[in-house]
Chains A and B, each alone.
Chain A
Amino acid sequence: GNSVTQMEGPVTLSEEAFLTINCTYTATGYPSLFWYVQYPGEGLQLLLKATKADDKGSNKGFEATYRKETTSFHLEKGSVQVSDSAVYFCALSPKVRGSNYKLTFGKGTLLTVNP
């Protein structure tokens, strides 16, 4: 079956530090890959996505590259802000007809950024 493994948190950084949250996956075929962010007490927001190998998703200074050879989709940001404090979820969905594009989530990584 499909699975997503992301680095365990919590991750605590100072403002302007570099962020990496590792995510690897196991899936049949070539799934679409996503990063979602959840702020306290809220639902999930789509942060970025990539649908094929070597695609780079980017948004709000965050980036992730779909690496087929290492089955990875690591999230990076060059300079984090206090407002980036949230839980980040890596997820995949199969591109198979009839799958309804069900998401398989990682366990989430709590990021805290201190001023």
Chain B
Amino acid sequence: GAVVSQHPSWVICKSGTSVKIECRSLDFQATTMFWYRQFPKQSLMLMATSNEGSKATYEQGVEKDKFLINHASLTLSTLTVTSAHPEDSSFYICSARSVDTQYFGPGTRLTVL
């Protein structure tokens, strides 16, 4: 149980385009989902907390107009990287909370050319 999926697993896009990443909890409902970014050989950096039906809460320094988060249902949250640039290239990981535990997706590798 407690499986979280992400789609796509990897994406390559041109600079200036937008990319949407989906995060789904497959076998449980998650009122709260989280989006992280991970740089090579580093720990995870929390970008935002997403609560179903309300606006996401962004961490300090994260541009909310650049990283659009939508949590429209109890099993789906999306992260849209708008007008992506090479510095947005990274590994993006989502998690979904079940009671007191976060379960993580497999991650999405974004490369912006």
Interface set of A (CB-CB < 8 Å, partner B): 32, 34, 36, 41-46, 49, 51, 89, 93, 95, 100-103, 105-108, 110
Contacts and interface: CB of A to CB of B under 8 A. Distances in A.
Most A CB contacts (10 A, CB to CB) among B2, B43, B51, B105 go to: B43
Nearest to A31: B100
B107 A102 contact: no
A36 B69 CA distance: 25
Given A43-B93, A89-B43, A108-B43, A103 B102 contact: yes
Given A105-B44, A108-B43, A100 B104 contact: no
Interface residues of B, number: 24
B51 A100 contact: yes
Given A100-B32, A100-B49, A102-B49, A46 B43 contact: no
B100 A43 contact: no
B93 A101 contact: no
Contact of B102 (A101, A106, A107, A108): A101
A93 B100 CA distance: 8
Contacts of B51: 100
A33 to B, nearest CB: 11
B77 interface: no
Contacts of A105: 43-44
A100 B107 contact: no
B81 to A, nearest CB: 18
Contacts of A106: 43
